[in-house]
Chain A
């Protein structure tokens, strides 16, 4: 089953396409990292998936073939929005009470157990909680609905490293316990390295990467060649290239993982942070050709 499937999906605001020609298939049981620069279309895509906005073009289904935004779809999805919308004036207990009554399914015992684990006092006002506790509360409210898909829109950006670790540990434990699938939009590329097993990269409203992390890593290499030596064959896609003196450094996408490398080239594999950075830079066509050379 695909938890998200889009076909030529597009959304236009006025004359500007926030997202266009987006065709994706996100398999279940994965943690999908959704990355891209600000304004790339990430939140637009998530809002389309949640049914918070409707497509200008194409279509989107979730959890098999449910229409995005339908009641059945919403029952199966937990969503933690970018700004973690909680009522700051309410106590934690009242926030739980409210959420329980606004949802068709809510596991009260689970929510209480989790809040106790984090030492969150039910009588405390939401606005008085620490950033980490507020994030855990928002996550608990989403998970207590026992969703099949958890959608997190940049949830860890405002958290300190320890709170971020604890937050991701909660998400990962839910994955291990209930097999919940996760879509996580984030700017924290280094953090994604250890949690994501599927990567979707959007820039300028278009999908640039959609694939399993293992396969992406197997398909990409950084090649360092000296002038006069054979360069990469023409059928290889060069994502990024830079030259310093007689040495050329290229990030290439191989036709397949076992493609032989050109003679005399030095090759190494890349992690998803480096990979995503290269695609992001090539997407915005930065006129800074020595960037990769400088970061070596």
Chain B
């Protein structure tokens, strides 16, 4: 994997990196990195995103791509542009508290130990996680629907 040099924006709490081999469009990589930082709490409301010029100079990418990423973040209600100042984080995303995050990480480690003992190597673990994650939204939707049916039945009885 090739990763470009990061940008050390003086005033910003995030450093963008690009993975040219990922196949993910560049603007989307920027959006996803901001979302990830919001989930992990390293970016918070009020934080400034790197100025377009800084990102462009650091990563040698088209300024329209950075603008598109920032527009997308604004569209999602996560950031807003302040004329003449830059783009700032407006909202946080799925705020998970640090203790919660630490707890989840601990249980994930235990799960990884189990997977490793069962004989899965790293590739096998990734494949299992990815395929399970892919089915996850469908399962959750099914479970919710099941709840509604159960409630409906309870009400009728």
Contacts and interface: CB of A to CB of B under 8 A. Distances in A.
Contact of B56 (A173, A190, A196): A173
Contacts, number: 51
Contacts of B139: none
Contacts of A168: 60
10 contacts: A31-B62, A169-B56, A172-B62, A176-B57, A190-B20, A193-B20, A194-B60, A195-B60, A195-B62, A196-B62
B115 to A, nearest CB: 29
Give the one of A173, A196, A217 with max B CB within 10 A: A173
Interface in B33-75: 52-53, 56-65
B26 A172 contact: no
B62 A175 contact: yes
Q: Is the interface of A mostly helix, strand, loop or mixed?
A: helix
Contacts of A177: 53
A177 B52 CA distance: 10
A194 B65 contact: yes
A145 interface: no
Interface in A156-170: 165-166, 168-169
Interface size class of B (residues with CB under 8 A): 10 to 19
Interface of A: 29-31, 165-166, 168-169, 172-173, 175-177, 190, 193-197, 217, 271
Nearest to B4: A165
A216 B56 CA distance: 23
B18 interface: yes
Contacts of B99: none
A220 to B, nearest CB: 14
A-B complex: 6 closest residue pairs judged by Cβ atoms:
A176-B63, A169-B60, A168-B60, A172-B56, A176-B56, A176-B53
Contacts of B62: 31, 172, 175, 194-197
Given A193-B20, A194-B20, A175 B56 contact: yes
B53 A194 contact: no
Given A169-B57, A172-B56, 5 more contacts: A165-B60, A172-B60, A173-B56, A173-B57, A190-B20
B58 A169 contact: yes
Contacts of A172: 56-57, 60-63
Contacts of A166: 60
B23 interface: yes
